[in-house]
Structure 1
Amino acid sequence: MFETPTSTKQHDESRQGEALLLENDSKKSNGRKLYIESYGCQMNFSDSEIVASILLDKGFETTRDYKEADVVFINTCSIRENAEQRVRNRLKEFESAKAKNPGMVVGVLGCMAERLKSKFLEEEKLVDVVVGPDAYRDLPNLIEQVDEGSRAVNVLLSREETYADISPVRLNTNGVTAFISIMRGCDNMCSFCVVPFTRGRERSRDPQSIVKEATDLFNAGYREVTLLGQNVDSYNYETINFANLLEKVARVNPLLRVRFSTSHPKDITDEVLHTLARYENICKYIHLPVQSGNSRVLNLMNRTYDREWYMERVSAIRRIIPECGISTDVITGFCSETEEEHLETLSMMDYVKYDFAYMFAYSERPGTLAAKRYADDIPEEVKKRRLTEVVNRQREHSLERLQTYVGKTHKVLIEGLSKRSDNDYCGRNDQNSMVVFPKDDRYKVGDYVNVYAEKCTSATLIGKIID
């Protein structure tokens, strides 16, 4: 759920500013082209697939080039200040294109919509339409309002909307991996986070619709799904909890890999861990944000767990799933953090030895509890120095963890060609580590192969297929 992190993660799940394109289907075209650009977290990219589905159903086609689009949307992230500045700069580029195409509709979707709607619509006049995460069904009506000469806005949050009945189109897909949103919103009021204010209260999606989506994806050739939620461990639909849902999706087919993100340390249960251990096709990888290794700072962050609780959960993971990969989020320089408390974060990293991490210097977000209650009193140079120390420590641990995978055979799902060479395939192992290996004509994208890891770089395993 973060934008532009400092990350040691090999397969970055926070793709930035990516224009999303799909193969246009056979629905009757209305002659208008749609361009969507997304920033931030997996949830935003999943939402863009919902938006595309709604508008393709109305006859829109997609394009990779915003300059030839009739409707341009940017799906926004509000986690950090520089994200907002990047979006604003991008909107100014769209403004230039609109000057040459006055009929172009430009809109802002997602998390920035509610907080900055007046600035975008009225003060800066950068956009024609502003739409919040729960109002995407209203997009055809809002576009029509703009066509008639009005600016349009809908940022109402909902306690019911899950888009469960909408089959997302798969944008920029490799045809192998896909996201499935299992819930929306968040009830955790972490003091640094804007998500509860931008995405509303937590509500879980009907498990039958989730299983159907996973089944449809498998039948279409997909071999891996990632179940998405701000806090997947609090999934609860009638009598179905997250462990139950995981099992249902895992049983769609043994050849369908299942991942999930994100877990909350206060909610992840032994039942979930035992479910991971029981099913081979549920990947042995957990993203477990710690944010800080100090109990006082965690209390200020309103994380609702302390250092000891987090360490116990890590201990349970190591006991129940010894081979599990663990990643995390870390914030340095939170309000009033002392040097000793920062050192406790480093010692937590030494205790867990994360496979990879998203790491940030604290950035105050307007409207959050922290902005209202606490002074942002750590100098920027101290924040950055502490961040550098965290990044350097994580690099050591990432390499150390990868080295433990060298000399072992890994089941890898081929996701595509390596970015560096068309002669190599790439894919991820159970622990979410990227693996690169020479192409073999016997196998294609979407196949599972056994790869023997011969060596590693600081971020990648390098090996060869073995029979």
Structure 2
Amino acid sequence: MNEEQRLDTELVKPSLEKSAEKDYSQYFQTVYTAPSLKEAKKRGKEEITYHNDFEIDERFQGMGKGRKFYIRTYGCQMNEHDTEVMAGIFAGLGYEPTDTVEDANVILLNTCAIRENAENKVFGELGHLKPLKQRNPDILIGVCGCMSQEESVVNKILKTYDQVDMIFGTHNIHRLPHILHEAYLSKEMVIEVWSKEGDIIENLPKVRHGNIKAWVNIMYGCDKFCTYCIVPYTRGKERSRRPEDIIQEVRHLASQGYKEVTLLGQNVNAYGKDFEDNDYRFGDLMDDLRKIDIPRIRFTTSHPRDFDDHLIEVLAKGGNLVDHIHLPVQSGSSDTLKIMARKYTREHYLELVRKIRVAIPNVTLTTDIIVGFPNETDEQFEETITLYKEVGFDIAYTYIYSPREGTPAAKMVDNIPMEVKKERLQRLNKLVNDMSAEAMKPYKGTIVEVLVEGESKKNSKVLAGYTEKNKLVNFKAPQSVVGKLVNIKITEAKTWSLDGEFIGVVEKEKVML
């Protein structure tokens, strides 16, 4: 059996009639295996297979001639990067991009499942697309990304949104040409959702957004199983790319003139744990990437449990490794962290922060925090407040707990009243705002190095860019400096951004070899 035949035998792809009256329960063993914590925790035994043989079948060449595609992306940087890959495949098929759904022949919603609000936005958008489909039945509408990996979502689309032509999951992106082909031929909904894990496909095409900053996946999936998180079910087990493939990609980006690379993974500092010899980890990768002639290298997102001493030692070398670390804590209470299954305590987190600050004195730390988790007491919330002050975060991304179907936390009693959740979030956000404003004040009068990304979203006469510490800076300068590193003297410090005066282009980009 060849590779294509093997993959096809593992493919889950029935065509289902689009009828709201039909009982779909009989299909779900073939359409999708429901998320199961018990089964998912058995993962890891299957071998990871690397593929470098992606190519577009001759029979699909020219499929997109005279056609346009539109992709709306929801969620994290990983979804953004998946969209770049799908755009690359569309381009290989001959499609052209468009910025409006009205002008598109294929519309894809690349979805996020991490919070209920994200899912509601997708269902709302599907409702808005129905009249468009009625006016032009030849348009193909597809749902992909993390929501597609949820049985309840597939069920809801089948019953309610008959304007959808195709559903495919996070493991099926490389199958896009086949899915489109079948959707054009079939009068029924085409569904491809694999629960299979373990494959990494290296040579997928990409159409990157811009030529200044780039995303680079270093691994896929997550094995942490935090009780509130759907990601291990939608993205699968942890799978690390081979270091030589990552290094080659970053070198290629450097040769193309990119100034900044962000390494992506659901848990980047678990990189390499799945390698058989287990002697090459995230710190080793960062040490190798540090030697590439590219001005800035970032990473997201990291888990405190896997942030080891070797990684800290490498990051302390500086150079093109920026001194900004996003380190999600989620709660300041050890009891809440235990219920969340974060597998570290408040004390462990604070000790990790201490080690980082000793090694990198000028480090900037940002975080994620959830309020109103089941059983969170007033005292436990206060522990989050005190931890935030003690660490001295520059910024936090804060959320009210939202139960996700299929996760252990969804079975817990959501016993915190919404008015209490909102009051806690309001208190936390005030602290976040106040401390962000304080963290900005010392920048006034200093000169910072900014990577210019383009015009400000609020004022086309003003340019904007980010410092190494990920601070947004607005300033007036010639358009010719877009894409370059420049020196800016800060004249005003605001809560979330800085204003400054253009001094000049950085003569030599700093890279430690």
For the criterion TM > 0.5, the same-fold answer is yes
What corresponds to 2:428 in structure 1? 390
CA shift for structure 1 position 440: 4.6
Question: Does 2:267 align with 1:231?
Answer: yes
How far apart, in 2, do the equivalents of 1:182 and 1:76 lie?
Answer: 21
How far apart, in 1, do the equivalents of 2:346 and 2:79 lie?
Answer: 31
Aligned to 1:266, what secondary structure does the other structure show? helix
| 1:145/1:151 contact within 8 Å kept | no
How far apart, in 2, do the equivalents of 1:456 and 1:309 lie?
Answer: 33
Question: Does 2:109 align with 1:74?
Answer: yes
CA shift for structure 1 position 69: 1.2
Aligned to 1:162, what secondary structure does the other structure show? strand
For residue 325 of structure 2, the aligned residue among 286, 305, 308 is 286
State which drifts further: 237-246 or 68-77.
237-246
For residue 177 of structure 1, the aligned residue among 213, 230, 239 is 213
CA shift for structure 1 position 221: 2.1
How far apart, in 2, do the equivalents of 1:118 and 1:144 lie?
Answer: 23
What corresponds to 1:465 in structure 2? 502
How far apart, in 1, do the equivalents of 2:409 and 2:429 lie?
Answer: 24
Q: Which amino acid aligns with 1:246?
A: M
What corresponds to 1:129 in structure 2? 166
Question: Does 2:242 align with 1:242?
Answer: no
**Which whole-Å deviations, capped at 9, do the CAs of 1:390-415 have from their partners, x for residues lacking one?**
10000011111111333332221111
How far apart, in 1, do the equivalents of 2:489 and 2:416 lie?
Answer: 46
For residue 231 of structure 2, the aligned residue among 173, 195, 212 is 195
| 1:134/1:155 contact within 8 Å kept | yes
What corresponds to 2:438 in structure 1? 400
Q: Which amino acid aligns with 1:111?
A: C
CA shift for structure 1 position 426: 1.6
Aligned to 2:200, what secondary structure does the other structure show? coil
How far apart, in 2, do the equivalents of 1:161 and 1:408 lie?
Answer: 48
What corresponds to 1:326 in structure 2? 365
| 1:327/1:357 contact within 8 Å kept | yes
State which drifts further: 303-312 or 220-229.
220-229
Map 1:45-84 onto structure 2 (within 5 A): 45-84=80-119
What corresponds to 1:447 in structure 2? 484
Aligned to 1:57, what secondary structure does the other structure show? helix
Map 1:133-212 onto structure 2 (within 5 A): 133-149=170-186, 150-171=188-209, 173=210, 175-212=211-248
Q: Which amino acid aligns with 1:352?
A: V
CA shift for structure 1 position 208: 1.7
RMSD: 1.6
Aligned CA distance change for structure 1 residues 302 and 418 (closer, same or farther; 3 Å): same
What corresponds to 2:405 in structure 1? 366
What corresponds to 2:467 in structure 1? 429
Q: Which amino acid aligns with 1:51?
A: M
| 1:250/1:257 contact within 8 Å kept | no
Question: Does 2:380 align with 1:341?
Answer: yes
| 2:474/2:497 contact within 8 Å kept | yes
State which drifts further: 397-406 or 27-36.
27-36
Q: Which amino acid aligns with 2:378?
A: E
**Which whole-Å deviations, capped at 9, do the CAs of 1:122-176 have from their partners, x for residues lacking one?**
44324111111011111211122221223111111343233322132113x2x21
Q: Which amino acid aligns with 1:363?
A: S
State which drifts further: 418-427 or 359-368.
418-427
How far apart, in 1, do the equivalents of 2:204 and 2:179 lie?
Answer: 19
What corresponds to 2:56 in structure 1? none
CA shift for structure 1 position 466: 3.3
CA shift for structure 1 position 119: 1.6
Q: Percent identity?
A: 39
CA shift for structure 1 position 65: 1.3
What corresponds to 2:157 in structure 1? 120
**Which whole-Å deviations, capped at 9, do the CAs of 1:319-349 have from their partners, x for residues lacking one?**
1111111110010010000000000000011
- Who wins on radius of gyration, i.e. which is larger? 2
**Which whole-Å deviations, capped at 9, do the CAs of 1:186-220 have from their partners, x for residues lacking one?**
00100000000111111011222212222222222
TM-score by length of 1: 0.90
Aligned to 1:451, what secondary structure does the other structure show? strand
Q: Which amino acid aligns with 1:273?
A: I
| 2:126/2:161 contact within 8 Å kept | no
CA shift for structure 1 position 68: 1.8
How many corresponding residue pairs? Answer: 436
Aligned to 1:240, what secondary structure does the other structure show? coil
| 1:71/1:104 contact within 8 Å kept | yes
Q: Which amino acid aligns with 1:147?
A: Y
Aligned CA distance change for structure 1 residues 405 and 276 (closer, same or farther; 3 Å): farther
**Which whole-Å deviations, capped at 9, do the CAs of 1:95-116 have from their partners, x for residues lacking one?**
2111111111111011100211
What corresponds to 1:456 in structure 2? 493
What corresponds to 1:220 in structure 2? 256
How far apart, in 2, do the equivalents of 1:408 and 1:162 lie?
Answer: 45
State which drifts further: 225-234 or 109-118.
109-118
How far apart, in 2, do the equivalents of 1:162 and 1:146 lie?
Answer: 25
Aligned to 1:278, what secondary structure does the other structure show? coil
| 2:445/2:491 contact within 8 Å kept | yes
CA shift for structure 1 position 449: 1.6
How far apart, in 1, do the equivalents of 2:143 and 2:363 lie?
Answer: 39
Q: Which amino acid aligns with 2:470?
A: N
How far apart, in 2, do the equivalents of 1:83 and 1:386 lie?
Answer: 22
| 2:174/2:204 contact within 8 Å kept | no
How far apart, in 2, do the equivalents of 1:440 and 1:130 lie?
Answer: 45
Aligned to 1:152, what secondary structure does the other structure show? strand
Map 1:18-57 onto structure 2 (within 5 A): 30-57=65-92
How far apart, in 2, do the equivalents of 1:202 and 1:273 lie?
Answer: 22
Aligned CA distance change for structure 1 residues 191 and 398 (closer, same or farther; 3 Å): same
How far apart, in 2, do the equivalents of 1:362 and 1:336 lie?
Answer: 11
Structure 1: runs of 5 or more not aligned: 1-26
Aligned to 2:353, what secondary structure does the other structure show? helix
What corresponds to 2:346 in structure 1? 307
Q: Which amino acid aligns with 2:307?
A: I
Q: Which amino acid aligns with 1:84?
A: E
Structure 2: runs of 5 or more not aligned: 1-60, 505-513
Aligned to 1:331, what secondary structure does the other structure show? strand
What corresponds to 2:8 in structure 1? none
**Which whole-Å deviations, capped at 9, do the CAs of 1:33-79 have from their partners, x for residues lacking one?**
11100001111111111111122212222111111211110001111
| 1:167/1:213 contact within 8 Å kept | no
